[in-house]
Amino acid sequence: MANITAAQVKQLRDMTDSPMMECKKALVEAEGDMDLAVDILRKNGLAAAAKKAGRATNEGAIGAYVSENGTLGAIVEVACETDFVGSNPTFTGFAAKLAQHVAETEPASVEELLASKMDGETVEAALTELIHIIGENMKITRFAVRKPEHGGVSTYIHMGGKIGVIVEFSFEKPETATTDAFKTFAHDVAMQVAATAPICAVREDVPAETVEHEKSIYMAQAAESGKPEAIQEKMAVGRLEKFYKGVVLNEQEFIKDSSLTIAKYAEQVSKEAGDTIAVRGFDRLARGEA
């Protein structure tokens, strides 16, 4: 039997909002496996949706860039030691400039980005110089570039750089990117991604292992009802549909108007713009998260 510590019990309780004794029982049953213990609590109907735990505490900022014609964009995370530096205009200005460089050069990795030239010197040299000027350790942690063949992009920076989002849209007419209707819609969708942290834009992009994992939880919950298997299956499928509506961007309720989903909102804007607009994908970087 695994030796379960008080710290493990507290961690599980913080992650799930479940009673302490139930957390201990789940950890014992799971032999100390935290992820398995969360599943046990969920199957028993005791756990709230598991909170993300163990987030990195790095400070920093996320910079964003979108080209003038709205068809190319990037976001990049630059980490530092303190929140004070993370909000320093020199630091945030560097992050924004770096985002433009990332968009225009499309590096394959952080290492390639560091070795690339920006204003006549390598990005690594520019970062080292900034470290010397500000007097705090810094590093470029990750980035995302979006360049749709037929469509546009929108970015949104939340809480002074704590969360950065870039969303990719498809449409047929190049002029759609510059219409007020699209710009408002694109901004709203980027804000939605920042606020709700969906998994993906469309149902088909939800990883198969995630779907199977969730369905196994719902089947176990339905089995507790004692109802016939056919009913249990329907119960599980119903819960899976609810799961999709929570994590798939296009199926989420629009936070500014609950009578609309994001997909329905896209249909409305398409009619207004005289084009077919759809949300195709996004990247969401939350500062300090892996």
User: pLDDT averaged over consecutive 10-residue blocks of the chain (290 residues)?
Assistant: 85 83 91 90 68 51 95 96 91 97 97 96 93 87 96 94 96 93 96 97 95 92 88 91 96 97 98 96 88
What are the structural domains, with CATH classification, of the chain? 1-49 (1.10.8.10), 59-201+254-286 (3.30.479.20)
Task: Give pLDDT, residue 56.
Answer: 38
Closest to 27 measured CA to CA, from 54, 1, 51, 55: 1
Task: Give pLDDT, residue 141.
Answer: 94
| Contacts of 112 by beta carbon, 8 Å cutoff, 6+ apart | none
Closest to 42 measured CA to CA, from 213, 203, 209, 227: 213
Q: What is the pTM of this model?
A: 0.78
194 in Cβ contact with 62 (< 8 Å): no
Task: Give pLDDT, residue 266.
Answer: 98
187 in Cβ contact with 155 (< 8 Å): no
Task: Give pLDDT, residue 207.
Answer: 95
Task: Give pLDDT, residue 52.
Answer: 36
Task: Give pLDDT, residue 161.
Answer: 86
Q: What are φ and ψ of residue 165, in 5° steps?
A: -130, 140
